[in-house]
Amino acid sequence: MKFKGVKLGAGHTGSLSRRMMLIAIAWTAFLLLAGGIALDRALTGLITRNFDEQLDYMLTAMVASAEIGPDGEVFFSRPLGDQRFLEPNSGLYWQITGNGHEDFPSRSLWDRTLTVREAETMEPLVYDSDQFREETLRMMQRPIYLPGSDTQWWFVVAASREELDVQIARIRTILVYSFAALALGLIAMAALQIWLGLSPLRGVRLAIQRIRMTGDTRVTQPLPLEVQPMVEELNALLAHSERQAEEARAHAGNLAHALKTPLTVLNNAAAAHADNLPEMVEREVAAMRRQVDHHLARARALGRRAVGLSRADVRESAESVERAVARLYPSVRFDLDGARPGGRRAMVAIERQDLDEILGNLIENAAKYGGGSVFVTLDAVPDAPQCEIWIEDDGAGIEPRDRDKLFARGARLDTNKPGTGLGLAIVRDVVEIYGGSVALDESEDLGGLLVRLSLPRAAVS
Give yes or no: residues 290 and 314 share one domain.
Answer: no
User: What was the pLDDT predicted at 123?
Assistant: 87
In a domain, 417, yes or no: yes
Tell which of 151, 168, 185 closes a domain.
168
Give yes or no: residues 344 and 297 share one domain.
Answer: no
- Tell me how far apart the alpha carbons of residues 373 and 362 are, in angstroms, rounded to a whole number: 14
CB 374 within 8 A of CB 393: yes
pLDDT in tens, 189-224: 999 988 888 888 887 888 777 777 776 777 777 777
Using only the alpha carbons of the chain, give its radius of gyration: 50
Residue 418: give its domain's CATH number.
3.30.565.10
Reference 373, options 278, 445, 297; nearest CA is: 445
Give yes or no: residues 75 and 163 share one domain.
Answer: yes
Q: What is the rounded average pLDDT of the residues 342-351?
A: 78
User: Among 3-17, 36-50, 387-401, which stretch is predicted with the lowest mean pLDDT?
Assistant: 3-17
In a domain, 23, yes or no: no
Centre a 10 Å sphere on the Cβ of residue 29 and count the other Cβ atoms it contains: 13
Give yes or no: residues 84 and 163 share one domain.
Answer: yes
pLDDT in tens, 310-343: 788 999 999 999 999 999 899 999 999 876 655 5
List helix spans (H) across 215-276: 228-271
In a domain, 129, yes or no: yes
In a domain, 289, yes or no: yes
Total domains, the chain:
3
Average model confidence (pLDDT) across the chain: 82
Give yes or no: residues 285 and 299 share one domain.
Answer: yes
Residue 52: give its domain's CATH number.
3.30.450
- Tell me how far apart the alpha carbons of residues 241 and 23 are, in angstroms, rounded to a whole number: 38
pLDDT band for position 413 (cuts 50, 70, 90): very low
Percent of the chain with pLDDT over 70: 85
pLDDT band for position 11 (cuts 50, 70, 90): low
Is residue 262 scored above 80 in pLDDT? no
Is residue 260 scored above 80 in pLDDT? no
Give yes or no: residues 106 and 50 share one domain.
Answer: yes
For residue 10, with 0-12 CB atoms within 10 Å meaning exposed, 13-18 middle and 19 or more buried, which class applies?
exposed
Give yes or no: residues 375 and 253 share one domain.
Answer: no
pTM of the model: 0.52
Give yes or no: residues 430 and 315 share one domain.
Answer: yes
- Tell me how far apart the alpha carbons of residues 198 and 224 are, in angstroms, rounded to a whole number: 11
Is residue 80 scored above 60 in pLDDT? yes
Give yes or no: residues 150 and 263 share one domain.
Answer: no
- Tell me how far apart the alpha carbons of residues 267 and 276 are, in angstroms, rounded to a whole number: 13
User: Among 72-86, 197-211, 358-372, which stretch is predicted with the lowest mean pLDDT?
Assistant: 197-211
Give yes or no: residues 161 and 295 share one domain.
Answer: no
Tell which of 255, 276, 305 closes a domain.
305
119 against 333, higher pLDDT: 333
Reference 92, options 117, 111, 109; nearest CA is: 109
CB 192 within 8 A of CB 2: no
pLDDT in tens, 51-66: 999 999 999 999 999 8
Give yes or no: residues 268 and 363 share one domain.
Answer: no
Is residue 109 scored above 60 in pLDDT? yes
- Tell me how far apart the alpha carbons of residues 430 and 357 are, in angstroms, rounded to a whole number: 9
In a domain, 12, yes or no: no
In a domain, 399, yes or no: yes
Distances (CA, A) of 321 to 57, 314, 337, 405: 104, 11, 14, 26
Tell which of 140, 168, 196 closes a domain.
168
Is residue 175 scored above 90 in pLDDT? yes
Domain residue limits at 268: 228-305
- Tell me how far apart the alpha carbons of residues 194 and 1 are, in angstroms, rounded to a whole number: 9
In a domain, 175, yes or no: no
Is residue 76 scored above 80 in pLDDT? yes
Give yes or no: residues 448 and 333 share one domain.
Answer: yes
- Tell me how far apart the alpha carbons of residues 44 and 97 are, in angstroms, rounded to a whole number: 31
In a domain, 356, yes or no: yes
276 against 173, higher pLDDT: 173
Distances (CA, A) of 407 to 195, 350, 357, 429: 59, 21, 16, 9
CB 354 within 8 A of CB 304: yes
CB 219 within 8 A of CB 207: yes
